[in-house]
Structure 1
Amino acid sequence: MGLHTDMKNKLEKGFGEKKETEEVNMKSLIEKGILKLAEKPKDNPENLNFPVYTISLIEHDYPAKTPVMWNSVYRKFNISAGNIMAIGDTKNIQQIFEVFKKDPKYLGGGVGVGFKDEVIEFLDEIDPIAKEIGAVNFMVKTPEGKLRGFNTDGVGYAVSLEEVFGKKDERLENKKAVILGSGGTGNAIAFMLADKGMRLVILNRTTKKAEALTDKINRYFNFDEDKKARFGGEDLIEREVVDADAVINVSTKGTSGDFENYSALALAKIPVTEENIKENIKESQRIFGKISKKAIISDIVLRSGDTPFINFAKSAGFEILDGTPMVIYQGVEAFWLLHRRDFEEKGIAKQEVLKTMKEAAGFVF
């Protein structure tokens, strides 16, 4: 039985008669406290009472948009399925994945913050570009119970950045992007922006991680010397942003937790103290004064309220790009990986899914 046929059998209850389903194993993970249903995402279900479902796995609670986008599509097109965001600890990843493989209701799902790099060794199959990136953000379960990994983050972000430059009748090719941070989503974004012909400078607190990423990119695309991605530490931020066309934060600065009050544009000294935060903010404001007002300031971090990085950019009059468009576009790509053939059979176009997800996420278009 093929993946399409198996999924069609599971989903047909959403397009027609509902059928009995056997007891799921995911409930045991909830009951044991290994997984917890996230509370901050809008429209995240409070239980697992669906004939089939997709599970988005994250390491901390935040107002993610995936549940509201996916569940809006499921409801609009009368599919008896649910998208559920669950919080877990990477130390339990092997046990979680064993249940994913055995649970007959589990179709696949998102791999979020904290898990993107960690899941690879537990996958049975991985898309070649995701393997090269070294991070996965979406999984599909095959009829044989195997987990296949993909990465749609980079595609989603590249499309959103293209839209911003497109409003100015400009293309991404030959534009300089300074990427603050590496790993996980940042790796995927860097790969896709390189694929679009942008000139990349990757700066990270741990320089070796930035170096490893640029080596992967340059080897994969076999760039000539003048096109090669460059790397460095955070001490180079001030110098590199001066002529940047886009400054993009993919680091943990600005996320909830220890780093939520730090700006991505300056060093974040540890331990986290009021004095160190003030120093970071002051230095960030100074460096902002050196960036061209034509540059796009972008931060992929999603949280309640703007990050310090985006807040400064807004107050200084820069054009900004937050993480919402990326989440929408990568979400559509992931959804289509899982449901494409079934939706096409019903005459439901990918653009209809995109429109529904945009509306659900409150995206102005």
Structure 2
Amino acid sequence: MSNAPSLAARLTLCGSISLYPVSLGSSMHLAGYRALGLPFTYVPFRVTDLAGAITGMRALGIRGLGISMPYKQEIMPLLDAIDAQAAQIGAVNTVVRGEDGRLRGYNTDAVGAVRALEEVRAIQGARVLLLGAGGAARAIAHGLAGAGASLVLANRTREKAEAIAQGIEGASVRGLDEALSASDWDVLVNATSKGMLDVDPGSPVPEEAIRPGTVVMDIVYKPIETELLRAAERRGARTIHGGRMLLHQAARQFELYTGVAAPLEAMDAALREQISLLAPAR
């Protein structure tokens, strides 16, 4: 009993804020803390008052928060500083409270995409075709271009892709059909919602457009094995499932919160278990 106050005082709180109650990040972060024996805990918060939540973060001394849509842009003016890459992307998905109490915003989606692709091939000089023009596509585009990729963006609404390309040196835009029929890409990244079980489980790409030896990365993680990835495997392409980007962006958050390298194996196991519960095999 006498030790309880000191143990509680040493516990560092992290978490996430979202409109929705489900947080895959919670399972990964908690598994990481357990694996390393760190005195941290993680709580997902359902938030409807963003400014109030940030005031609470300051008052309670919360170390870090993951930020989900629709708050990734709205949170930026509430912070004391923004990391340079997050400012370029125009979105923050991670907030860290420094020792001085200042709140700094980061975007770990970009590094998540980079680390996921680097597990399979080098990015420098890779010719990447990126499908989509939403917030995830914007972060991925900045991350891969910053790592040396040659980037082509394609989206059904061309103007949205052009808006992203304008902020990235060397990036170009093509119509979706034109891009898919071309043969000048080494890596295909699906950053659209097509492939999600609860949106549209089909593939965004005709199977015949996928060439053997290329790399196909899908950021959709529900299900882990999408129609696009199944088609890519049949065509002899190398594949990267959406759980890898999700894992690596969470791992970067973990590093920002704790100051130590993330235990990827433990975090990956926790993520896979949660995804299997959310999207059971059919």
Normalised TM-score (structure 1):
0.65
Larger Rg: 1
CA drift at 1:180: 0.6
Contact 1:93 1:119 in 2 (8 A): yes
Count of residue pairs brought into register by the alignment: 271
1:174 aligned counterpart, secondary structure: coil
CA drift at 1:87: 4.6
Counterpart for residue 254 of structure 1: 195
Q: For residues 256 and 292 of structure 1, do their structure 2 counterparts lie closer, same or farther at Cα, with a shift above 3 Å needed?
A: closer
Counterpart for residue 302 of structure 1: 221
Question: Quick check: 1:85 aligned with 2:44?
Answer: yes
Match of 1:97 among 48, 54, 67: 54
Alignment of 1:342-357 (within 5 A): 350=261, 353-357=263-267
Counterpart for residue 71 of structure 1: 30
Contact 1:243 1:291 in 2 (8 A): no
Contact 1:250 1:300 in 2 (8 A): yes
Give the Cα separation in 1 of the matches to 2:85 and 2:114: 15
Q: For residues 117 and 179 of structure 1, do their structure 2 counterparts lie closer, same or farther at Cα, with a shift above 3 Å needed?
A: farther
Alignment of 1:108-257 (within 5 A): 108-142=64-98, 146-165=102-121, 171-218=122-169, 228-240=170-182, 242-255=183-196, 257=198
Counterpart for residue 54 of structure 1: 14
Normalised TM-score (structure 2):
0.81
Q: For residues 305 and 358 of structure 1, do their structure 2 counterparts lie closer, same or farther at Cα, with a shift above 3 Å needed?
A: closer
Give the Cα separation in 2 of the matches to 1:179 and 1:197: 14
Contact 1:260 1:307 in 2 (8 A): no
Q: For residues 63 and 18 of structure 1, do their structure 2 counterparts lie closer, same or farther at Cα, with a shift above 3 Å needed?
A: closer
Matched AA of 1:82: T
Q: For residues 295 and 86 of structure 1, do their structure 2 counterparts lie closer, same or farther at Cα, with a shift above 3 Å needed?
A: farther
Q: For residues 329 and 295 of structure 1, do their structure 2 counterparts lie closer, same or farther at Cα, with a shift above 3 Å needed?
A: same
CA drift at 1:184: 2.3
Give the Cα separation in 1 of the matches to 2:140 and 2:54: 26
Give the Cα separation in 2 of the matches to 1:205 and 1:59: 28
Alignment of 1:311-322 (within 5 A): 311-322=230-241
Matched AA of 2:30: N
1:18 aligned counterpart, secondary structure: helix
2:248 aligned counterpart, secondary structure: helix
CA drift at 1:189: 1.6
Residue identity over aligned pairs, in percent, reads 28
1:82 aligned counterpart, secondary structure: strand
Any gaps of 5 or more consecutive residues in structure 1? 1-12, 22-50, 166-170, 219-227, 266-286, 344-349
Any gaps of 5 or more consecutive residues in structure 2? 274-282
What is the CA RMSD across the aligned residues, in angstroms? 3.0
CA drift at 1:74: 1.7
Counterpart for residue 251 of structure 2: 332
2:161 aligned counterpart, secondary structure: helix
2:41 aligned counterpart, secondary structure: strand
Counterpart for residue 18 of structure 1: 7
CA drift at 1:261: 2.5
Q: For residues 339 and 80 of structure 1, do their structure 2 counterparts lie closer, same or farther at Cα, with a shift above 3 Å needed?
A: closer
Give the Cα separation in 2 of the matches to 1:59 and 1:236: 38
Question: Quick check: 1:263 aligned with 2:203?
Answer: yes
Q: For residues 299 and 59 of structure 1, do their structure 2 counterparts lie closer, same or farther at Cα, with a shift above 3 Å needed?
A: farther
Contact 1:156 1:329 in 2 (8 A): yes
Give the Cα separation in 2 of the matches to 1:300 and 1:61: 21
2:58 aligned counterpart, secondary structure: helix
Counterpart for residue 208 of structure 2: 289
Matched AA of 1:57: I
